[in-house]
Structure 1
Amino acid sequence: MTGRRLASTISTHRLRGLVAVLPLIAALLFAPRPAAADESGVSFWLPGQFSSFAAVPGDPGWSLPVVYFHSSTEAGRGRSFPVGGRITAGLDVTADLLFLAPGYVFEAPLAGGRASLGITGLFGRVKVGVDATLTGPGGNTVTGSQSDSLTSVGDLYPVASLRWNDGNHNYLAYTMAGVPVGSYEVGRLANLGTNHWSLDAGGGYTYLDPKKGHEFSAVLGFTYNWENSDTQYQNGTSAHLDWAASQFLSEQIHVGLAGYFYYQITGDSGAGAVLGDFKSRVSGIGPQVGYFFPMGGHKAYVNLRGYYEFDARNRPEGWNVWLTLAIPLGSAKP
């Protein structure tokens, strides 16, 4: 492979990874995913949103990343979680979500970098089971296992980013918000909305050597959450690190590893936080493979990666799979 051809292939890649994906693209149960801590054992941020090429500037114009996300997580009945105004024992969550994250990369430079704007929406199904509900929204005690499922839409996640390139080194600054418009109901076990605003910001780095085919990316961010007014529960501030490393086997295919660390810095608070600060953490690692291919005169990209979770505290843990397709919709130039 030639360095010029590989660099050209990679420069057309525009993938935000979200939250959606943004969004993180997000945990994933009641916001855009199931697998976090905080209220319901779920966080705004879905670990693993960012992966390879996270800081590489994209080509000017529109693009449409499409992400399918599957997650299966659980926590033993000896662990309690606040869910929808209830205190539950044990938690078993399965989610199948589809994220759509249209975005636009501006051609004119901004502060020496390339700016982009996007928004992520989601549609999917989540199924939640608990071993026992210890207390209900009205303070009544309920026993016995329960389950609930929901197929609906989730919150919206606008994002703005700025990327710089300096040879093999690439840099990223981003900010993302959580807009609580998703399906949510107090007392319901399964929700696809958080019912509170969130704001996330951070930065990242990608090392990309086109001649040797080496790539490494890491993105560090911090999330602040506002209170859920219906449950008087406020998730604490959290930090998250997504990383990925890969090697090109040809001009089109790269393989490697991806992982994440999620750690809650401050405890949960509010009248609804009856379990105390309920700080959470989780880590994940797994394989990935990516492939560039032509589409309508542009280069499209597909990536498959999976994570096995470990070292979880105050949140369910399990495994999740991401299938991402980045579709170029046309150049900004005529």
Structure 2
Amino acid sequence: MAMLPSEGSMAVQFAYVDTQGEFPSEKVVPVAGKSVTQFAVDSREYRLDMIWNTGVDAGHGWTYSTGLSVPYLSVRSAGRGGTDSASGLGDIVLAPLILTHGWSEHWRTDIRFAVHTPTGNYDRERTANPGRHYWTFEPAIGLYYMQPFTGQMFSVYGGMNINTTNTATDYHTGTQVFLESTLTQSVLMLGGMVGLGITGFAYQQVEGDSGSGALEGAFKGRALGLGPVLQYRAQLAGAQLAADMEWRFPFATQNRPDSDSFSVRLQLIY
């Protein structure tokens, strides 16, 4: 969640993410200890996010927050040789450290550290799994601008994923870096603020894959993505309501599926 609640508040967010993608038919893809061609994947994620701004002063104008994300996934894969499917709890994400600093009335910076825990169901005999079966540590930093009078919102958020080894397949996914940004313009409508804008991302794997399970070598991934975003903000029974709808489509992919992604998020701040 880009926008943290105000000090002493709790934000609860419900999210749905639908992702469908495929590799070029001739591409050989390492999946669950196998090399697969004609590989495609379809996933649906239902996620509950919670974040609490404690209001605790961390010094020098920084405040402390903490968060939790619990996903449920339904995954279906297809490749030469057959299809697989699985559903269940995904990898729970813990955000034990979120530090926020308001530089002015409209500008804010966050420094975050999250841990993706291997709680999701994983079976090396399947090419579709709700979990990844390894830990990921994610330091990140974000910059946010919000001008409520003119309705402009801007965010840029970047970080890296530092992964451990999947012990079931002896596959170590190399470190990845990412950058996401969104720009919207809102107007008064429907009893609140309706915004329309554009969102994009960049992803680059900076360290090659390794381990005996890395059957296709380093397999460094890369992708860029872009798409529209629709937002709604309003007051609802003493709470702040925020709803977002996004569609992102990829381009310039390398060793990644061409995956269109559609997401809907509903957030309440108490």
Query: Shorter chain as normaliser: what TM range?
Result: over 0.9
1:154 aligns with 90
The alignment status of 1:229 with 2:167, answered yes or no, reads yes
Amino acid at match of 2:22: E
Amino acid at match of 1:101: D
State how far apart, in whole Å, the 2-side matches of 1:254 and 1:323 are.
Answer: 14
What do residues 203-242 of structure 1 show as CA deviations (whole Å, max 9, x unaligned)? 1111223333222110110111001111111000110001
Could you say what secondary structure the match of 2:210 adopts? Answer: coil
Higher relative contact order (CA 8 A, sep 6+): 1
Amino acid at match of 2:259: G
Q: Paired residues, what number?
A: 264
Does the 8 Å contact 1:57/1:163 carry over to 2?
Answer: no
1:5 aligns with none
What do residues 57-91 of structure 1 show as CA deviations (whole Å, max 9, x unaligned)? 63422221110000110112211111111110121
Amino acid at match of 2:82: Q
Q: CA deviation at 1:107?
A: 2.0
Structure 1 outlier segments of 4+, above 3 Å: 55-59
What do residues 181-208 of structure 1 show as CA deviations (whole Å, max 9, x unaligned)? 1110012111011111110111111122
Higher-strand-fraction structure: 2
Does the 8 Å contact 1:55/1:163 carry over to 2?
Answer: no
1:98-247 matches, within 5 Å, as 98-111=46-59, 112-130=61-79, 132=80, 145-159=81-95, 160-165=97-102, 166-247=104-185
The alignment status of 1:87 with 2:35, answered yes or no, reads yes
Amino acid at match of 1:203: I
Q: Which runs of 5+ in 2 are unaligned?
A: none
The alignment status of 1:254 with 2:195, answered yes or no, reads yes
Which of 284, 305, 322 is matched with 2:263 structurally? 322
Q: TM-score, normalised by structure 2?
A: 0.93
State how far apart, in whole Å, the 1-side matches of 2:123 and 2:180 are.
Answer: 31
State how far apart, in whole Å, the 2-side matches of 1:58 and 1:97 are.
Answer: 28
Segment drifting more, 260-269 vs 248-257:
248-257
1:140 aligns with none
Which of 195, 203, 209 is matched with 1:268 structurally? 209
Q: CA deviation at 1:126?
A: 0.8
The alignment status of 1:278 with 2:219, answered yes or no, reads yes
Amino acid at match of 1:161: I
Q: Which runs of 5+ in 1 are unaligned?
A: 1-15, 17-53, 133-144
Segment drifting more, 225-234 vs 145-154:
145-154
Q: CA deviation at 1:248?
A: 1.4
What do residues 121-164 of structure 1 show as CA deviations (whole Å, max 9, x unaligned)? 1112111001x2xxxxxxxxxxxx31011121111100131111
1:66 aligns with 14
Does the 8 Å contact 1:233/1:269 carry over to 2?
Answer: yes
Does the 8 Å contact 2:115/2:138 carry over to 1?
Answer: yes
Amino acid at match of 1:280: G
Could you say what secondary structure the match of 2:165 adopts? Answer: coil
What do residues 30-69 of structure 1 show as CA deviations (whole Å, max 9, x unaligned)? xxxxxxxxxxxxxxxxxxxxxxxx2666342222111000
Could you say what secondary structure the match of 1:102 adopts? Answer: strand
State how far apart, in whole Å, the 1-side matches of 2:246 and 2:100 are.
Answer: 24
Identity %, equivalent residues = 25
1:37-48 matches, within 5 Å, as none
Q: CA deviation at 1:254?
A: 1.4
Segment drifting more, 153-162 vs 204-213:
204-213
Amino acid at match of 1:127: R
Q: CA deviation at 1:273?
A: 0.9
Could you say what secondary structure the match of 1:107 adopts? Answer: strand
Q: TM-score, normalised by structure 1?
A: 0.76
Q: CA deviation at 1:253?
A: 1.4
